[in-house]
Amino acid sequence: MQNTLAETLLHKFNVFTQEVQLAAEQLSGTIPILLHNLSHVDQDIEAALRLERTDNQRLALTAIEERLEELLNELMWNTDPDNVQFKSPVIECLEFISAYKKHLTYQSELQQEIPNPYITGIPLDDKQPIFVGRQEFSAKLEQLLVSPRCPPLLLYGQRRMGKTSLLYNLSRLLPSTIIPLFVDLQGPAGLAIDHVGFLYNLSRAMSLSAKLRCQLELPPLTRQELQADPFACFDEWLTEIEQTWPDTIILLILDEFINLEDAFDSGRLNEQWVLSLLRHQIQHRPRLKILLAGSHAFEELQRWSSYLVNVHTLHIGYLSESEARQLIEKPVNNFPLRYTPAACERVLQLTHCHPALVQLLCAEIVELKNTQVAEQRRLAQIEEVEAAIPRCLEGVKFYFSDILHNQLNHWDRQILKFLALQGEGKIVKLTTLAHYARSKGQDLEALKASIDHLLRRELIEIIEQGYRFQIELMRRWLLQ
């Protein structure tokens, strides 16, 4: 963040943040509530400017821009007299961000850099052209949703396999007669301290999703309305929605639904009431469908299965080879970087077509190419793919270590490491694994349980009556 333009931008937001914080202390009414979301926006700007890649800076600034635009929109409609003093500062802040983004674009054009189109670390929304594939999945989902007996659905996939990105993109992939309403239960709804807070934030997330992705305005629902009889009031609100769009299917999506377990365990929400509410909708509203999403299989979740019977699981896994190729070779139109066939093949082998890993590795390849002289920059060779691996492994360490330490037990880890030690693509027979397990004091039953678990987590696969590692990048990381 050496340039003065960045300093000016930051200064502007420091001043704006002070105004917002002052408003929170001194004003009453609705304005402090509207501004709450921006009470530390200067820190977000600072974090954005510290990002190493200019395209990531641009992305982070766009996210802040969207929050400011949303605020401006709310201020325009708000009748509180205090709103006047905030409109111009918000517009000015937006202008500053826009100017800085133009500067970033100019800088990369000046250096003839390959623009890095890859998006890592955040789910892809429906405006990002780099989302590939998943048409087969959406066709299957559509078929289920239109059938009169559609059971509750569970979208099940491993971490970072693209669940949220797919859910964000459903409004684009499904016909407009299906209205997907996306709720992230890691957000305010899942964190609510009581039922009014939960239902209010649930309704807000549904409304925001309808507005952002379907350009639909759901009827309003306020906290005050919910106070007296929250569940009945929420139920009436759903009826109102159904009546407003009579010929549609409303798909309520609860991403990371597992977060409700914490709310149940800590007593913030009553398990029976909340799950009964869901069951009631399933039984009595044929046009409202429920889709839960997460990385837990339904069999693992006893408390849910007694309320939601007959759940149908939809699995989301690795990309197909052709989808992964598209992500590598043509992530966006007019992508200037070409790959030799061997280089492209190597990316496929290293990532096993895992969407997040393809994006991470390709992002590093672009970064590496941008350090080269202009004449070499536009063709990626296999050696460069290999050279990008160490930085890619740096980027995936939290993801891999989460799998290793939070999803696997001691024995699973031992078996996985043993498989990793055998080398790239090596197939290991059950007898060899049994021999190794015995030497470590693990009996055959425990070994089979570990293998089962590793297969379910899609970390190993069965090949010619043996087992092998699926993701070469992960194997390399384990050996570090």
Ligand X SMILES: Nc1ncnc2c1ncn2[C@@H]1O[C@H](COP(=O)(O)OP(=O)(O)OP(=O)(O)O)[C@@H](O)[C@H]1O
Binding site for Mg ion (CB under 5 A): 163-164
Give the one residue of 117, 162, 180, 190 binding ligand X; rule: CB under 6 A.
Answer: 162
- Find the shortest distance in angstroms from Cβ 124 to ligand X: 5
Which part of the chain contacts ligand X (CB under 6 A), choosing from 23-31, 127-135, 267-275, 430-438? 127-135
Residue 475 — φ and ψ, nearest 5°? Answer: -60, -45
Would you say 162 or 180 has its CB closer to ligand X? 162
Out of 355, 370, 380, 447, name the contact with ligand X by CB under 6 A: 355
Cβ count near 350 (within 10 Å): 23
The three-state secondary structure class of 328 is helix
Distance CA 457, CA 268 (A): 31
d(CA 309, CA 307): 6
Angle at 76 between CA 75 and CA 82, to 5 degrees: 50
* Stretch binding ligand X (CB under 6 A), from 89-97, 106-114, 152-160, 410-418: 152-160
Burial of 294 (0-12, 13-18, 19+ CB in 10 A): buried
Q: Is 241 in the site for ligand X (CB under 6 A)?
A: no
Residue 356 contacts ligand X per CB under 6 A: yes
Binding flag, residue 160, ligand X (CB under 6 A): yes
348: Cβ contacts below 8 Å, ≥ 6 apart: 321, 324, 325, 328
In the complex, the smallest distance separating the C-beta of residue 429 from ligand X, rounded to whole angstroms, is 32
Residues contacting residue 305 through CB under 8 Å, at least 6 positions apart: 298, 299, 311
230 binds, options Mg ion, ligand X, none, Cβ within 5 to 8 A by partner type: none
The site partner of 362 among Mg ion, ligand X, none (C-beta below 5 to 8 Å per kind) is none
Q: How does strand 338-339 pair with strand 379-380?
A: parallel
173 binds ligand X (CB under 6 A): no
Residue 114 DSSP class? P
In this chain, which of 12, 58, 163, 325 binds ligand X, going by CB under 6 A? 163
The two structure tokens encoding residue 382: 């296999």
Compute φ and ψ for 230, nearest 5 degrees.
-55, -50
Residue whose CB is nearest to Mg ion in the complex, by number: 164
Shortest Cβ 255–Mg ion spacing (Å): 6
190 binds ligand X (CB under 6 A): no
Residue owning tokens 């290991």: 428
Q: Which stretch binds ligand X (CB under 6 A): 222-230, 263-271, 354-362, 420-428?
A: 354-362
Q: Are 153 and 311 in contact (CB under 8 A)?
A: yes
When CB distances are held under 5 to 8 angstroms depending on the partner's kind, the choice from ligand X, Mg ion, none that residue 165 binds is ligand X
Rounded Cα distance, 386 and 390, in Å: 8
Q: Is 359 in the site for ligand X (CB under 6 A)?
A: yes
CB of 164 vs ligand X, minimal distance in Å: 3
Task: Report if residue 180 touches ligand X, rule: CB under 6 A.
Answer: no
Paired tokens of 193:
């301290």
The full length of the chain comes to 480
Which residue's CB atom is positioned nearest to ligand X?
Answer: 162
Where residue 424 falls (left for φ over 0; alpha for ψ -120 to 50; beta otherwise) is beta
CB of 131 to ligand X, least distance (A): 5
Q: Per-residue string for binding with ligand X, 132-151, x by CB under 6 A?
A: xxx-----------------
Binding of ligand X at residue 288 (CB under 6 A)?
Answer: no
Q: Is the CB of residue 455 less than 8 Å from the CB of residue 427?
A: no
- Span near ligand X by CB under 6 A; candidates 125-133, 209-217, 220-228, 296-304: 125-133
- The position carrying tokens 């709450």 is 36
Choose the one of ligand X, Mg ion, none that binds residue 134, judging by a C-beta under 5 to 8 angstroms depending on kind. Answer: ligand X
What is the C-alpha to C-alpha distance for residues 419 and 460, in angstroms, rounded to an integer? 9
* Candidate ranges 114-122, 143-151, 235-243, 278-286; the one touching ligand X (CB under 6 A): 114-122
- Contact between 327 and ligand X by CB under 6 A: the answer reads yes
Residues contributing to the site for ligand X (CB under 6 A): 119-124, 130-134, 157, 159-165, 295, 327, 355-356, 359
